[in-house]
Amino acid sequence: MTISKTILITGASRGIGLRTAKSLALRGHTVYAGMRNVDGRNKEAAAELLAFASEASGRILPIELDVTDEDACNAAAAKIEAETPIDVLINNAGIMPVGLTEAYTLEQAQDLFDVNVYGIMRMSRAVLGPMRSRKAGLIISLSSAAGRFGMPFFGLYCASKWAMEGYCESLHYELETLGIESILVEPSGHGTDLVTTAPAPADTARVQDYGDLAQGRDRLLGMFQGMFDQGDASTDASNVANRIADLVDMSAPRPIRTQVGHDMGVTAVNEAVLPIQDELIKGLKPVYMGEV
């Protein structure tokens, strides 16, 4: 029997976030669907979630949340905690730039990290105090296959996902003795608007310097969009949402990494690295736990 949990998810106005909120509500959970401009640009998304929840066994409560604003992150978490303990945080908000790596400006890189990396840090810090007090909690952070490989035209995106993977995995080992889990979900390409909204490099002069290679961005985006348009079941974003819901319902300990969709070799990398990581932690843990 599924135990109803209180869950806060970021970036819930569209894509995987919106689908995950729905999947969790169907399983009887209470979902706080974080998004910007609840009463403005995302008013329709908020209304869609409320209408969906009215016929589900759980609840969906849209809440104003901007992961680039530390005060907003803290306020959202505090507002929920004043009503009910947050059992699960799902760090979903993200941006996926696609283009020649050199041609992205430092300002673009900073804006990307502000969401994909620092947004996760802000939200994790916002919920961890009460979770530590209760010695219970789960943080699920959305990474990507790009968090395990470097890929042409995805340089900035890969860099941000590598950074957040290192942060979330380190948190995992620090928090596990406190009854809290920090885990990662690594989807491959799925049919969301990340492709159609992918920011292009701002330094167009450098793009032009690459000649025909600069067309690689459009070629790759076209390939991915073609995959999604074919309706391949493995690229359905609902698969990711349902897998996240499975992890929420699962008993501890959960796997640190969960791959979803076209494997792209991610599982092989994870399986190869895990025993090495385990040996590293086995050597370090007695030291940082004060057992030697």
pLDDT over 70 percentage in the chain: 97
Task: Identify whether 165 is part of a domain.
Answer: yes
Where residue 87 sits, what CATH number does that domain have?
A: 3.40.50.720
Query: In the prediction, which pLDDT does 190 show?
Result: 63
**Containing structural domain, residue 81:** 6-288
Query: In the prediction, which pLDDT does 161 show?
Result: 98
Q: What is the distance between the alpha carbons of residues 104 and 200, in angstroms, rounded to a whole number?
A: 8
Task: Identify whether 13 is part of a domain.
Answer: yes
* Contact by Cβ (8 Å): 25, 52: yes
Task: Identify whether 1 is part of a domain.
Answer: no
Task: Identify whether 169 is part of a domain.
Answer: yes
Query: In the prediction, which pLDDT does 91 show?
Result: 99
Task: Identify whether 45 is part of a domain.
Answer: yes
| Joined tokens for residue 47 | 């209304």
Quick check: is 143 catalytic? yes
Query: In the prediction, which pLDDT does 232 show?
Result: 65
Q: Identify the active-site residue in 5, 13, 22, 124.
A: 13
Task: Identify whether 258 is part of a domain.
Answer: yes
Report mean pLDDT in 10-residue bins for the chain, 292 residues: 90 96 98 97 97 95 98 98 98 96 98 99 99 98 94 97 98 97 90 79 98 96 81 78 97 96 90 96 96 88
Q: What is the distance between the alpha carbons of residues 124 and 74, in angstroms, rounded to a whole number?
A: 10
pTM of the model: 0.95
Q: What is the distance between the alpha carbons of residues 239 and 260, in angstroms, rounded to a whole number?
A: 7
Quick check: is 173 catalytic? no
Q: What is the distance between the alpha carbons of residues 49 and 39, in angstroms, rounded to a whole number?
A: 13
Quick check: is 157 catalytic? yes
CB atoms within 10 A of CB 50: 14
Quick check: is 161 catalytic? yes
Q: Identify the active-site residue in 32, 124, 157, 160.
A: 157
Q: Identify the active-site residue in 23, 141, 143, 160.
A: 143
Q: Identify the active-site residue in 5, 22, 161, 182.
A: 161
The number of distinct structural domains making up the chain is 1
